[in-house]
């Protein structure tokens, strides 16, 4: 399974507030006006620009899709379906972690729960169970309750 680096255009640093709030993929796909990034940003690119940009590593099958496309993924069978399920919640987690008005429990690049590193490791494993386990963790955080709009 070939990997393609995912890059979003220059983005603000992650939010500093940590807490118990999170918005679902459904919220983010229906409220693009709340995004700190453009919804058309590609989720896959072969160009990695700098360390302040998202570097999710997806399979080539998702290379032409946008961040908004990822929020609309439906899943499916096997590793490909697990990857789509994971990326739907990873896209929401990325947006949650960037939003100052939201106390999201995870960070984009920092421990204790590094969204990018955790998602990349799950996808690189090629193991549907590993991808779905990370998806479940992100889904739980994304469903904590959304105070926006």
Whole-number pLDDT of residue 10: 33
Whole-number pLDDT of residue 67: 85
Q: Is there a domain that residue 81 lies in?
A: yes
Q: Is there a domain that residue 26 lies in?
A: yes
Query: What domain count does the chain have?
Result: 1
Q: Is there a domain that residue 149 lies in?
A: no
Distance CA 96, CA 107 (A): 9
Q: Is there a domain that residue 148 lies in?
A: no
Q: Is there a domain that residue 127 lies in?
A: yes
Report whether 141 contacts 20 (CB < 8 A).
Answer: no
Q: Is there a domain that residue 44 lies in?
A: yes
Q: Is there a domain that residue 37 lies in?
A: yes
Give the global pTM: 0.80
Report whether 12 contacts 52 (CB < 8 A).
Answer: no
Whole-number pLDDT of residue 60: 75
Whole-number pLDDT of residue 15: 52
What's the domain range around 41?
Answer: 3-9+17-142
10-residue mean pLDDT profile of the chain (149 residues): values are 35 57 95 81 50 63 83 92 94 88 81 81 94 96 91
Question: How do strand 57-59 and strand 3-5 relate by DSSP bridges?
Answer: antiparallel
Distance CA 107, CA 42 (A): 21
Whole-number pLDDT of residue 88: 95
Q: Is there a domain that residue 32 lies in?
A: yes
Distance CA 111, CA 33 (A): 28
């Amino acid at each position: 399974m070939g990997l393609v680096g995912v890059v979003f255009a220059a983005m603000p640093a992650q939010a500093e507030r940590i807490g118990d709030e999170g918005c679902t993929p459904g919220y983010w796909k229906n409220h693009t006006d709340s995004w700190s990034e453009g919804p058309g940003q590609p989720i896959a690119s072969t160009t990695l620009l700098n360390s302040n940009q998202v570097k999710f590593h997806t399979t080539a099958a998702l290379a032409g899709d946008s961040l908004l496309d990822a929020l609309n993924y439906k899943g499916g069978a096997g590793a490909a379906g697990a990857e789509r399920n994971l990326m739907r919640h990873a896209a929401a987690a990325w947006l949650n972690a960037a939003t100052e008005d939201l106390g999201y429990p995870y960070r984009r690049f920092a421990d204790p729960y590094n969204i990018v590193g955790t998602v990349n490791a799950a996808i690189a494993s090629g193991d549907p169970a590993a991808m779905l386990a990370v998806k479940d963790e992100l889904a739980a955080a994304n469903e904590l309750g959304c105070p926006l709009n």
